[in-house]
A and B are shown apart, each in its own frame.
Chain A
Amino acid sequence: MHKYRWGVNPYDIEKWINDMALQGWHLQKFTWTRFTFERGEKGSYIYRHDEIERLAAPYEDDYLEFLQAAGIELVDRSGNIVFFRKSASEGPFELYTDKKTKISNLSKKMTLLLSLLLLNLVFGITGLSGDFSGPATDWLGLTVNIANVLIVLLLIIPFFRLVRLRKQLKRDLDVFTD
């Protein structure tokens, strides 16, 4: 079964994939927007995502062997996002149990989103004002610039959810150790 979803916030996607697993649909492969599931036992696996810093960087063999020894399977990778899973019968499963790694992953994601947001905003706004300045309306330019503004609107909510998540983690760190 294929499902389409706008994959901006990996934590939301992870939650959704785990909800699907509870209903017996297990992630098989994915791209940024397209997710393929196969039928399986309900709730038999827990899924977690990981983000690799550089887009093309492979995992180190040591790390993959370590994960395998811990009963963790690599499901699929798309860009710098990777999904792993572990049998739910072996108890709770988290890849990162420290808040600092979570915070730094969130910060990287936020920087990327913010630059995309600002870029589209600037192109959209300056473009739109240019589209109407000539004697005839530039329809192609108008379409592109409206798309710019739409992208801004699509990214803004996921961005603020990440901001909120990071703030919460930082507040915990003020009181509790990692």
Chain B
Amino acid sequence: MTSEQKPEVRINDFAFKLANVNGTGSASANGLLMQAIFRMGIPVSGKNLFPSNIQGLPTWYEVRVNKLGRTARTSEYDLMVMMNAETYAADIREVRSGGYILYDSTWPLNKALEREGVHFIGVPLARMCAETFADPRERTLMKNIIYVGVLAALLHIDMDVVKGMLEEKFKKKPALMQSNQKAIWLGYDYAIKNLEHPLPFRLEKMDATKDCILIDGNTATALGAVYAGATVAGWYPITPSTSVLDAFKVFCERYRVDKETGKKKFCIIQAEDELGAVGMVIGAGWAGARAFTSTSGPGISLMSELVGLAYYAEIPAVIVDVQRVGPSTGMPTRTQQGDIMMCAYNSHGDTKHICLYPANPEECFAFSVKSFDLAERFQTPVFMLTDLDIGMNDWVVPRFKWDDNYKPDRGRVLTREEIEALPVYYRYSPADELGVAARTLPGTHPKGAFFTRGSGHNKLGGYTEVPAQYMEVVDRLAEKHRASRDHVPAPIIEKRPGSTFGVLTVGGCDLACREALALLEEQGYKGDFCRVRGFPFNEEVETFLEEHSQVIVVEQNRDAQLRALLVLETRCPKEKLQSILAYGGFPLQASQVVDGVRAKVRLNKKEG
């Protein structure tokens, strides 16, 4: 099947999807593809759409290449690489009209699967493998590498780059190196000899990623915790946050082991559950360490009890929530922003928390550090909310930088000498202009001892059941939370002259929203952009809301949680706020925002 017209050539602007079986080694092959494109200097993103399973179920990997850096997820696939017969039917349906389908032609494709208007490319991958490799495991693994070779020919992936990557990867494993090299050239040569190449959409070297790295958000978060000086981590394994602690451990082992003694300057405790994990963080924070935990929604549900204790007793704690799809177990390997409300008001009684919302790994690194500063400055739990897409997928972001002049903000902690000089010490008095009172660390000085309690206490820290004394303390906590609004990261605001509406969003919706606004502008819809990065909302957010008569809030949950939080916590009348909600579990696409805005915004070209 070939289409009638000669298709236009598109350089560095396309998307392809790889349909695999999980546990077959496809992940490393797909990572290789993405990394090669990144090293060619081209903006690229990879989205791993994987099942909650170890081996045998369908899994997909999507790659989007875009010279303008528009790398939000797209489901407009120009090419489908079908490596899983079980999902052939659905995969064929998903390719855009005029697109290409690469399949393993060792076995003929069922006639019933044929589709008009798309190009089928058969490569006998299994047969090539069987003829080349003897070991059954190798036959499975190398099939993936062969299709990388085929794609290199079809998409113009630089083979020198690929070769270099394989050499780095298998430096210490010459046998593996040999089979990988063999497989990749096998695929490449086959394509050159037998297939029409390159495809009309293809790659060309650019210079857009020179100062960038390819990193996932969880690694970045962990690195931030190391740089912030976190020494204690309590955690419980949970998808999609586990790799935060995995990475923290790797970095600590690298940077925090005393060369002479072999002793470790960190303590990671795998807890019995998330309640235990956050309990450890709170205990460590109380004792004076920078401590954190990382979890996902179900873990936050468990932690809620002790989060209230840390809030009320004013103990610093950093809690990273790599959000996944809820409610309940939900879809553990899918992404969502469903914990916005739960984190903002986590725990029973009147509680409000500082929340940070990074949008990408670069911000994960920076906000991770910031979280510790805020937790100690305000003596309170701080939530950093990322999501599965940010946390587990590789992103192209600018190289992280570190300022060696950074001093951790430990907040108000009295030294031995300061305590000595006091006539008497009270834990919760006097408070400063932020509503924060000085704390002492256990063991510092006899005069600094105090009794920490989650039960009713007065401003001196003593037990109370007296209404006025109780209220005085919780009112100060509310003030303290309000005061933190000028200390959380400010929103990112991008304005367009003549705009008629605003799009307000959060976290991982960033790229899709900005791409959508650019596309909408071409269609005559001019909108401003605001991405909130912290809660409580500061004056800049209020101003953005005031400046626009129509604000469309884009977020990835069913219940418009960010919108609800804005309604509750800003002066904005709720009628002004409309929602675009994407909550199926895959990362947001620009097309979803474009369609949503077009349905809500009245086009007035004269004004525009």
Decide whether A and B are members of one complex. no
Please give the residue numbers on chain B whose beta carbons come within 8 Å of chain A beta carbons, in ascending order: none
